[in-house]
Amino acid sequence: MPFLTIRDILNKVEKFHGEFGTRLHEAESAAENGEAKMLLRFLGNHQKQLAGILASMDADKDQEIATLDEWVQFDTEVRDPRGYLSTFTLSNNATAAEVLETANKLDVCLFCLYKGLAKGGSTPKAQRLFGRLARMELDHQKAKGGHGGYY
């Protein structure tokens, strides 16, 4: 089982969210369905915002966050979200329901990753951090499932 620091993991997740946001905006530009286009814009903006939040966590070097330098062991059996991103495709005539289904696959992937990292956290702080991120992904998926008409 490999080890990375929390900082390294958050940097990788930040880049993932930024790239996924870019891919969603590209799909938005090609989309023909108005509702799907709007949903892709919303989800793309959301991914970019998440990337910005993660980037800002370590931006202030005067306030070094020691927890970010902790090592975390992670399970290599957990599906890598980058694998999902490399296979991400959405047809130009995708419906809003198909966009939601695609977004849910990402949420499940990230939930499993964060849950695995929470188990491998070396300290209670690290475990809580990844546990909260897992909960955020689960809540996001539940919100989309329960309010599909809203998205």
* Residue 151, in any domain of the structure: no
The domain total for the chain is 1
* Residue 55, in any domain of the structure: yes
pTM confidence score: 0.77
C-alpha to C-alpha distance for 38 and 36, rounded to whole angstroms? 5
- CATH number, domain containing residue 87: 1.20.1260
Q: What are phi and psi of 121, to 5 degrees?
A: -60, 135
Task: Print the domain residue range for 51.
Answer: 3-146
Rg (CA), the chain: 16
- Mind listing the pLDDT tens digit for each residue in 53-86? 878 876 655 555 567 787 777 665 556 677 777 7
Assess contact for 2 and 114: CB atoms under 8 A: no
Token pair of 94 as six digits = 């995708």
